[in-house]
Structure 1
Amino acid sequence: MINESFLSTRKIHEIIKKEFNIDYSMSRIPAIVKKLGYSYKKGYIIYSKMPEDAEIILKKN
């Protein structure tokens, strides 16, 4: 059993391959996750040079 709150598509692919010996394509994983009733969101990039108050600065503009 996996005790992680957030799993990447790559990690889910590895788990399925290891546990069930099935090699789905990476593009199929989101559909499988959704069909099982889990929510799926694409990740977003957090830049290292981004200021901590970037959201506030963007709202002001």
Structure 2
Amino acid sequence: MRSTRRAWPRWTLGGREAVPLISDDEREFNVATARTRPVALGRPFTRWILRELADQLSHHQV
């Protein structure tokens, strides 16, 4: 028998809606930061790597 779990939307948990981990404002800030060149934010490199982006976001919380 196949699992019906795959058929459920990802945003639901057993019929309940999942609580978002971040707000819409935080999401917008994270996306805007990721789309901005690091040099424009005072970082000494030209492209983001995940570790550096995470460090940048952790220092500038919304």
Give the TM-score of the pair, scaled to structure 1.
Answer: 0.32
Higher RCO (Cα < 8 Å, 6 or more apart): 2
Larger Rg: 2
Give the TM-score of the pair, scaled to structure 2.
Answer: 0.32
